[in-house]
Amino acid sequence: MSAPTTGTDRDGTEGTEGTDGAGTRPAGTHRAKARPAAALDFDKLFAARLHAARVRPYLATALFALHTVASRQVPTMAVDRHWRCYVSPGFVDRTPVEELAGVWVHEVSHLLRDHHGRGDRVARERGLTGPGERLRMNIAADCEINDDVYGEGLVQPEGVLTPEYLGLPTGQLMEDYLRRFTLGALTQDLVWLDCGSGADGLERAWDLGPDGAHGLSAQEQDAVRFRVAQGINGRPGSAPAGWRRWAEEAFHPPQPWRELLGAAVRSAASGAGAGEDYSYARPSRRSAAVPGAVLPSLRRRPPRVCVVIDTSGSVSDTELGSALLEVAAIARAVGGRSDMVSVVPCDAAARIVHPLCSGEGIPLIGGGGTDLRAGFAKALGSGARPDVIVALTDGQTDWPATRPPCRTVVGLFHRNARSGWSEDDPEYVPDSPPAWARVVTIGSGHGTR
Amino acid sequence: MPSHTPRTATDAPADPFPVPGRPSRLDVAGQLLALLRDTTTEPRPDDQLEALTLAVAADLPVLLWGEPGIGKTAALTQLAESLDLPLTTVIASVHEPSDFSGLPIVGDDPAEQGIPMAPPDWAVRLVRAGRGLLFLDELSTAPPAVQAALLRLVLERRIGSLQLPPGVRIVAAANPRGSAADGWELSPPLANRFVHLQWTHDHDVVIRGLGGTWPRATLPGLDAGNLPAAVDHARRAVCGLLTARPALVHRLPSGETRRGGAWPSPRSWDMTIRLLAFANAAGSSREVLSMLVRGAVGDGPGLELLAALDRMDLPDPEELLADPAGADLPERGDRRQATLDGVVAAVRRRPDRSRWDAAWALLVRALETGAPDLVVVPATTLAALRQEDWDVPESIERLAGVVALSRRADLSQERAAARTGVTAGAGR
């Protein structure tokens, strides 16, 4: 997204007449140093940055890319969406160096994780307006950062906000935290909390704005993020899990599973040989108008979709319910009538094929282990062959050895780590879905990034 | 666009008893419509449009991805106007495959003469004009057979028996998979031939436009004197990256999320060179370049290329060492540190006394013009390069502040280690 350029696009703050060429900035003195009365202890601030860069080498690029501005209006330290860092001289004065190092990392995390952009997106999607909501975004963003950036050479600064303080679980994303708390007694003491427009997207009085000096353009920000992500991916052992997850997703954001599943099923159902397409089987209605020309006509055959559902104990009813409704909706959208969609509940054995006349009427009973091979066999062996098989499972199953004679989409329920797999045999790792199936992971990423 | 025909005496059912001299109701409506149509434009840089223009100028097929109703067609109209090309819009979803592959016409003696595939009229007109902008809209809602026929048009530039002349440029538009009604999805070989541009609307532009002032993009012009340098620069950038990262030459997309998008292959790298050269000759911004490059080879490889371009833009260490007093160091911290690291690495590669001294002078200069913490690592590395017979230069005293800063960070780290050591046992 390009920053809006309203008014002057001239670098107005430093008197750079005649040098408005693309991207070149005049080498001037350090802007913040020039301020007379600020008396910001730069040595202390930069010693803290050095500390931060040493204990978090993968963040060094981002830390050094920040432009420091002394400001008396900021309560502590704050960032804006153009990668400027505003620092209160008093705050630097009364905070130990090792805690300042933690604050550096905290502030740069807001920018790396694009909290302002995500905040804007959430605000649009959920209709959140007003400073109160932006404060909640700042709090949620702080929770996302603070649960794993400290430790290992980085002190948690005094009075920092953690999810535990609000009674929330750790390891969530800002968007998830945002759903889980409201402003109230617990957050009463947090109203001073202010990480700037870089954290929640709300412009602050002290912001230099898009036209101010030393801002990073969107492309430059991406480049810095990319270099940091590469640094983390290059040495995955040295970064905590939260940063590794960020680095994996920084430029390959997870898409919402509903859209992916929908696209996969639609594509499978409308591909050649299934669903709507042209055929020369009967002459076109246009033929009469164009004598002598051979025209194809449009013929539609509604796709037959068969949903194989893993009803073993490890898949929850809510997950199944939402996924099944989704598939039914997609099948309707591609022109399938509800009697063309069938459902095969399957645990260790597949029982019976149900037509999907009403979404609620199918008994999803089962439990224990899963063997989807039985479900596939049942789906293919019962009457009319389906055009598409959609398998909804958590993946703890065996798969058919050969490719089924129709398109296959696997909706894989998201499971954390390998925790659930070691009940009897710690060595047991189920087969991953075969290469011939299109796999959509369900339940990971809620369209957040 | 609403178009209204001049009112005649017979088509005025809304005003059954027209009085001479009194304006009819439709005339008033016409005045209102004219007022509504009366909008002005203002020049405004538009990165999306500039990227689209460059890709079209470079004669590469472009695929615009965007939600319906955000102004893709309007942008194409503006582009055609500015390039002075007649615009032919073909809504793919209302056509039959034979409209693109040609209608088979049964002649007198099919066995002897064959059955010719007759092209549709717009194609004939396009060929006769010799130039034009062909816009294939609504690709995503066309049935698969139509899409297949269209792709032959895009790739081979053939419609039936007609070959489109080189003066015809092709742009296609598709809705993102999430909002597509049908399963439009490019297979990897086809995706690889397009420059994929994500088309989004700018909130401010829309608000201002609905208020009566639409933007008018200033389109890039190519600098004729700069062409050989632009080609050279583009080739050097891509070859330099691919020499260092051979794995990037060809990488098929894997995973559901990356389907249908851009991915790197020798073909798309070739397209990238072309786009780089055009962007360079037009003096385009990094934003535009970023859209084009990421649209050709995908996000990851595109960003690597952009990072490589950034490195190419850093000052040459040898030039800095030759003239430390007049050195112009980058302002931004991370770029400055990369430059200083490059200088120290250059000294390490070919160490001699004068280069070592020059590097110290550069570090002093960096300290005087920017943040001191950036200088710590290069200074430490440079100090370790000292050979026995080299005297410490006088200027090094001015780096005393750096040593103090480093020491202060050391102490802070020790204190932090002591404090986190305790919490580490309790917490994580």
Task: Kindly state the DSSP code that residue B374 receives in the 8-state scheme.
Answer: G
B148 with B196, same domain: the answer is yes
Question: Side by side, which strands form the sheet with A77-79?
Answer: A67-70, A84-87, A77-79
Cβ contact, residue pair A255, B45, below 8 Å: no
Residues on chain A touching B140 (C-beta within 8 angstroms): none
Q: How far is B405 from chain A (nearest CA, A)?
A: 5
The chain-wide mean pLDDT, for chain B, equals: 82
Tokens at residue A187, please?
């957050």
B68 with B189, same domain: the answer is yes
C-alpha to C-alpha distance for A364 and A370, rounded to whole angstroms: 13
Domain limit, last residue, from A217, A234, A251: A251
Tell me how many domains chain A contains: 2
Compare all CA atoms of chain A with the CA of B423 and give the residue at the minimum distance.
A151
Cβ contact, residue pair B182, A263, below 8 Å: no
Residues on chain A touching B417 (C-beta within 8 angstroms): 153
Angle at A155 between CA A153 and CA A158, to 5 degrees: 175
pTM for this prediction: 0.74
The pLDDT tens digits for A57-74 are 889 989 999 998 888 888
Query: What one-character-per-residue DSSP string does B170-238 give?
Result: EEEEE--GGG-SS-----HHHHTTSEEEE----HHHHHHHHTTEEEEPPPP---GGGHHHHHHHHHHHH
| Distant-in-sequence, close-in-space partners of A86: CB < 8 Å, separation ≥ 6 | A69, A70, A71, A73, A74, A77, A78, A79, A80, A196, A206
Q: What's the rounded mean pLDDT across residues B166-179?
A: 81
CATH number for the domain that contains residue A309 = 3.40.50.410
Residue B192 has pLDDT above 60, yes or no: yes
B58 with B190, same domain: the answer is yes
The pLDDT-based confidence of B281 (bands split at 50, 70, 90) is: very high
* Whole-Å CA distances, B119 to A289, A290, B115, B163, B187: 16, 13, 13, 10, 26
B235 with B173, same domain: the answer is no
Domain membership of residue B296 (yes or no) is yes
Task: Kindly state the DSSP code that residue A215 receives in the 8-state scheme.
Answer: P
The pLDDT tens digits for B366-389 are 888 888 888 888 888 888 888 888
B298 with B336, same domain: the answer is no
Cβ contact, residue pair A62, B419, below 8 Å: no
More confident of the two residues A93 and A321: A93
Tell me how many domains chain B contains: 3
pLDDT of residue A299: 61
B206 with B234, same domain: the answer is no
Pick from B183, B369, B406: CB nearest A266: B183
A167 with A81, same domain: the answer is yes
Q: What's the rounded mean pLDDT across residues B98-120?
A: 80
Most confidently modeled range among A200-209, A232-241, A260-269, A339-348: A200-209
Q: Which domain holds residue B186?
A: 42-103+116-215
B104 — contact with chain A (CB < 8 Å)?
yes
pLDDT of residue A27: 37
pLDDT of residue A51: 92
Cβ contact, residue pair B105, A262, below 8 Å: no
The pLDDT-based confidence of A350 (bands split at 50, 70, 90) is: low
Cβ contact, residue pair B405, A50, below 8 Å: yes
Residues on chain A touching B98 (C-beta within 8 angstroms): 293, 295-296
The pLDDT-based confidence of A30 (bands split at 50, 70, 90) is: very low
B42 — contact with chain A (CB < 8 Å)?
no
| Distant-in-sequence, close-in-space partners of A409: CB < 8 Å, separation ≥ 6 | A261, A264, A265, A268, A388, A389, A390, A391, A437, A438, A439, A440
B334 — contact with chain A (CB < 8 Å)?
yes
Domain limit, last residue, from B298, B313, B328: B313
Residues on chain A touching B191 (C-beta within 8 angstroms): none
Domain membership of residue B300 (yes or no) is yes
Q: Which domain holds residue A224?
A: 42-251
The pLDDT-based confidence of A443 (bands split at 50, 70, 90) is: low
Return the exposure string of B136-158: e unless at least 16 CB atoms fall within 10 Å of the residue's CB, then b: bbbbbbbbbbbbbbbbebbeebb
Residues on chain A touching B177 (C-beta within 8 angstroms): 259-260, 262-263
B262 with B194, same domain: the answer is no
Cβ contact, residue pair A266, B283, below 8 Å: no
Sign of CA dihedral B170, B174, B177, B182: negative
Which of A33, A98, A152 should we substitute to test contact with B (largest number of B Cβ atoms within 10 Å)? A98
B340 with B391, same domain: the answer is yes
Domain membership of residue A329 (yes or no) is yes
A91 with A227, same domain: the answer is yes
Lowest average pLDDT, out of A35-39, B39-43, B359-363, goes to A35-39
A48 with A160, same domain: the answer is yes
Q: How far is B359 from chain A (nearest CA, A)?
A: 19
B137 with B169, same domain: the answer is yes
Q: What's the rounded mean pLDDT across residues B89-98?
A: 82
Evaluate whether ipTM surpasses 0.90.
Answer: no
pLDDT of residue A298: 61
pLDDT of residue B311: 83
Pick from A63, A216, A227: CB nearest B307: A227
B23 — contact with chain A (CB < 8 Å)?
no
The pLDDT tens digits for A368-393 are 667 778 888 888 887 777 878 888 88
Q: How far is B75 from chain A (nearest CA, A)?
A: 17
Tokens at residue B71, please?
């102004």
B297 with B381, same domain: the answer is no
Compare all CA atoms of chain B with the CA of A33 and give the residue at the minimum distance.
B370
Dihedral, A151, A157, A163, A166 alpha carbons, nearest 10: 150
The pLDDT tens digits for B295-333 are 999 888 898 899 888 888 888 888 898 888 888 888 888
Residue A417 has pLDDT above 50, yes or no: no
A215 with A327, same domain: the answer is no
- Closest of A199, A90, A75, A217 to residue A146, by C-alpha: A199
Cβ contact, residue pair A219, B202, below 8 Å: no
pLDDT of residue A47: 92
B108 — contact with chain A (CB < 8 Å)?
no
More confident of the two residues A55 and A299: A55
CB contacts < 8 A, A to B, total 227
A228 with A370, same domain: the answer is no
B204 with B182, same domain: the answer is yes
Domain membership of residue B326 (yes or no) is yes
B307 with B322, same domain: the answer is no
